[in-house]
Amino acid sequence: MAAKAVIGFAAILAAAMTIAAVPAFAQTNDPNLTQAEIDCLNRPNAVGADCTKDGETSGAGSAATGAVFLPELIVDLFPNAAGGGEAQVPTPPSTPPATAPATPVAVPGSPIVSPPDLVATEPPRAVIGDFVPDEVLVTVDGDAGAVQQIATSFGLVVRSQRQSRLLGTTLVRFGIPDGRPVGIVLAQLAAYGRTLRREPNHVYSLQQAATIVNYAFDRITLDEKQASGENVRIAVIDTGIDETNPALSGVIADQFDAMPNVPIEVRDHGTSIDGLIAGVGALKGMAPGARIYHARAFEGGKSTMDVILSALDWAADQDVRIINMSFVGPKNDLLGIACRNARALGIVLVAAAGNNGPKAPYGYPAAFDGVIAVTATDAKDGLMAQANRGAYVFISAPGVEMVAPSGAGSDVVTGTSFAAAIVTGAIANLFHAAPDRSADGIEKALAATAKDLGPKGRDNDFGYGLLDIKAAEAAKE
């Protein structure tokens, strides 16, 4: 029986050998992917009617071959267990068995089952998008004892666990010390009734495109002299910031470091976002007087799902009216639940649509329902060439070649990140003028009053059109 179990596991492992992450900035969790396209992503060398010569699928990005390579930061943040290193995956058998034997799996109160004997009750998942290669995120129904039983039964290690307010349950980051693919482990964990949701620890990227006075006030019809977000509480999830920058003087109400063990090296992006929202002095933001609650969750332009969820929970505890999320990554159900529950608390969620180009798949969290997805336009209301497109794009705002505060003083910035900051600041003006406005009411007003820029009505390039804050303020709920 043991020999059959090993053979069965080998068959499952062989089926998952081609699971790999696509490069960062090419998120491919498009809900419209066909099964053939997913198959192409899972077979990097596949050639056929539905696959190009490089294993690409139409509109789905390209699949990387071999092991997953992440920035050094991520590797340092989440090291393998002692004695680890890159996992050596065995060569799959040429003719795998047709079926796997029904080997017992871990159930509550059952004896411990060793990882080689585990049989996945679901097909191994094709994990799309960039992710930490030796970790999974799991929500658990139970206490620390239940968490440890899962770790022991499934050959995992507990790297962190905490009670998540927005998820409403215990979130556990399990490490995979033996080199099993993430897709296999997620499938195996599905056998255990107390694991409620199981997801990869996806990697997300800040959305700064590159590099002349801030023309945003004029384009969104916001009177610079009257602009104010006084006493409006706003959370920003981003990089660290340069608190000594004059534009942020008196702006930051509180800070939270979601990755305290990682030194802060770059402060530009977060400083620019906060400054565009509520900056003071020469580099005045859209909503001076607003109170920024800043969560540092990125370094080297990268973060992970676990870190971002921690920052979101902290933000929700600060009683903020708006959360700005100027980053993009693959679809992750845990992030979707957190966003949905934050919106249920009455928080307006604003996110960058993404800078990955017209053919890029949807960017998240912007593509989740209840999140205002912002694309970027220039001083002549032209669309930023590298902006993502799609039915999820909600509204347009200035985001091309704008002067903003940075860690070095000031810089010219471009990207949907900065357009999102403009929208966040503009919404703060609406709350300042009418504190009783609801999140739903704000969203409807923005959609109804936007200046149509593309084809008549909402379109995949500009969404409802260019933000018109003067008209939105006059709109009634």
Which segment of 56-60, 155-159, 166-170 scores lowest on mean pLDDT? 56-60
Domain match, 186 and 219 both:
no
CATH code: domain of residue 218: 3.40.50.200
In this predicted model, which residue has the larger pLDDT, 363 or 1?
363
3-state helix, strand, coil in the chain (%, to 5): 25, 20, 50
Domain membership of residue 159 as a residue range: 2-201
Say yes or no to pLDDT of 103 above 70.
no
Burial class (CB in 10 A: 0-12, 13-18, 19+), 182: buried
**pLDDT class for 431, splitting at 50, 70, 90?**
very high
Residue where a domain stops, chosen among 158, 175, 201: 201
Residue where a domain stops, chosen among 176, 201, 226: 201
For range 143-169, the mean pLDDT: 95
For range 397-407, the mean pLDDT: 93
Tell me the sheet residues that pair with 202: 131
pLDDT for the residue 418: 97
Q: At what angle do helices 439-449 and 416-433 cross, to 10 degrees?
A: 110
Domain match, 108 and 69 both:
yes
Amino acid at 66: G
pLDDT in tens, 312-328: 999 999 999 999 999 99
**pLDDT class for 117, splitting at 50, 70, 90?**
low
pTM, to two decimals = 0.68
**pLDDT class for 188, splitting at 50, 70, 90?**
very high
Domain match, 258 and 404 both:
yes
**pLDDT class for 207, splitting at 50, 70, 90?**
confident
Domain match, 188 and 244 both:
no
Residues contacting 234, CB < 8 A, separation 6+:
277, 278, 287, 290, 291, 292, 293, 320, 321, 322, 323, 324, 424, 428
Domain match, 265 and 138 both:
no
Domain match, 365 and 437 both:
yes
Burial class (CB in 10 A: 0-12, 13-18, 19+), 72: exposed
**pLDDT class for 191, splitting at 50, 70, 90?**
confident
Domain match, 52 and 174 both:
yes
Residue where a domain stops, chosen among 175, 201, 227: 201
pLDDT for the residue 193: 87
Domain match, 332 and 293 both:
yes
Residue tagged 């927005």 (tokens): 166
Say yes or no to pLDDT of 376 above 90.
yes
**pLDDT class for 200, splitting at 50, 70, 90?**
very high
Q: At what angle do helices 2-15 and 182-189 cross, to 10 degrees?
A: 130
Domain match, 38 and 186 both:
yes
DSSP 346-357: T-EEEEE--SS-
pLDDT for the residue 37: 55
Task: Give the number of domains in the chain.
Answer: 2
